[in-house]
Amino acid sequence: MADAAKPILLSGIQPSGQLCLGNYLGAIKNWVGLQDSHDSIFLVVDMHALTVKQNPAELRKRCLSFVAQYIACGIDPKKSTIVIQSHVPQHSELMWILSSITSMGELNRMTQFKDKSKKHAANINAGLFTYPILMAADILLYQADLVPVGADQKQHLELSRDLAHRFNTQYSDTFTIPEPYIPKSGARVMSLQDPEKKMSKSDENLNNLITLLDSPDVARKKVKRAVTDSGSEIKLDDSRPGISNLLQIYSLISGNSIASIETEFEGKMYSDFKEVLGNSIAEFLTPIQHEYNRVIQDKSYLESVLNQGAENAYYRARKTLTKVYRKVGFISPAR
Ligand code: AQP
């Protein structure tokens, strides 16, 4: 499936909760738009998810559910490679090599580590700290040219670029230096109840997020309950993050510009706007859920997608790792 004529694109999501609108608008929507022009690899990064406590049975179920949701959102396994991270052992092998050229200081500066340490104060494990090295391995293993991410992942991607450059300088040209692809809008969808923080799939308060599998009624209710600010104008305004976030979501879902939405709702109330937004989210979710319900039941199809994905990814990953092992001075095993 590797297409030498197309640039390589890589992205992934950790199965650490329910896929939400933030993940869709910040990542998956762009994947779908880029998969024709790129040789794309989309990961379900289950190894990353272990940095936070998981229930094994739920994790297993969620991984398969994520694959079905990727497909339901428009990722076509005939065009793109869908792969579960733990199916390709080279991810952790390359991580080890990269960890010896990563400084503690670099990892200490990662804001996601600081945020997650606060959020999971009882479980600040080494994996949480070294997470960005595994992410660098995910990207560099496939010689990715382009990595679509939300703004929250920009710092991690910078580290991947630094490590690729460092390795290339220290040994010799080995890795492609990946470019970030951060969407102009949708890069940061905010929480519905606390619009100062981003919408996160693992948020314990489910009213903060709309998941891709929320029923249309639940989605409408969550929009109705979303925090709006004092004031009544439906306008983009930095000092009113609640309504601004809802406006941005509506613009992304409907494809209408912010300016045209502001005009449409001039003189109307928050409740009018929320009703329209709730309906448009419900309309957006319905066909995705319909397709999801079809795909998730077809276990043999999902299995074939994953087998094909693992086979393709394994071949490419092994090629890079063999090169890396040779460059760092490892002897090939005797046959
Ligand atoms: N709120 C968001 N707005 C825009 N993009 C977002 N992404 C996540 N949240 C938003 C993008 O979705 C992809 C998923 O990344 P991840 O699973 O590796 O982890 P994350 O960035 O930590 O995402 P979450 O949803 O916040 O997960 P949890 O709750 O588990 O920490 C990335 O491309 C990300 O930019």
pLDDT in tens, 300-329: 999 999 999 999 999 999 999 999 999 999
Q: List Cβ neighbours of 71 (8 Å cut-off, separation of 6 or more).
A: 77, 82, 291, 295, 305
Place of tokens 């050229």: 101
For residue 155, the domain's CATH number is 3.40.50.620
Give the Cα separation of 42 and 139 in Å (integer): 11
pLDDT number for residue 16:
93
How far does residue 30's CA lie from ligand 1's centre (Å)? 14
Report the alpha-carbon angle 301-304-308, nearest 5.
Answer: 145
**Burial class (CB within 10 angstroms; exposed 0-12, middle 13-18, buried 19+) of 168:** middle
Indicate if ligand 1 lies below 6 Å from the C-beta of 27.
yes
User: Are 173 and 60 part of one and the same domain?
Assistant: yes
The residue whose CB lies within 8 Å of the most ligand 1 atoms, and thus the one to mutate among 153, 188, 202, 253, is 153
User: Are 23 and 165 part of one and the same domain?
Assistant: yes
Q: Whose CA is nearest to atom 18 of ligand 1?
A: 13
Q: Which atom of ligand 1 is nearest to the CA of 15?
A: 17
User: Are 169 and 303 part of one and the same domain?
Assistant: yes
How far does residue 301's CA lie from ligand 1's centre (Å)? 27
Give the Cα separation of 234 and 212 in Å (integer): 25
Domain hosting residue 243, numbered range: 206-293
CA 168 to chain centre: 27
**Burial class (CB within 10 angstroms; exposed 0-12, middle 13-18, buried 19+) of 111:** exposed
User: Are 144 and 18 part of one and the same domain?
Assistant: yes
Indicate if ligand 1 lies below 6 Å from the C-beta of 202.
yes
- Residue 198 belongs to a domain: no
User: Are 150 and 225 part of one and the same domain?
Assistant: no
pLDDT 10s digits, 231-276: 889 999 888 999 999 999 999 999 999 999 999 999 999 999 999 9
Indicate if ligand 1 lies below 6 Å from the C-beta of 201.
yes
pLDDT 10s digits, 74-119: 999 999 999 999 999 999 999 999 999 999 999 999 998 998 899 8
Domains contained in the chain, number: 2
pLDDT 10s digits, 176-224: 999 998 877 767 899 999 999 999 999 999 999 999 999 999 999 999 9
User: Are 34 and 172 part of one and the same domain?
Assistant: yes
pLDDT number for residue 153:
86
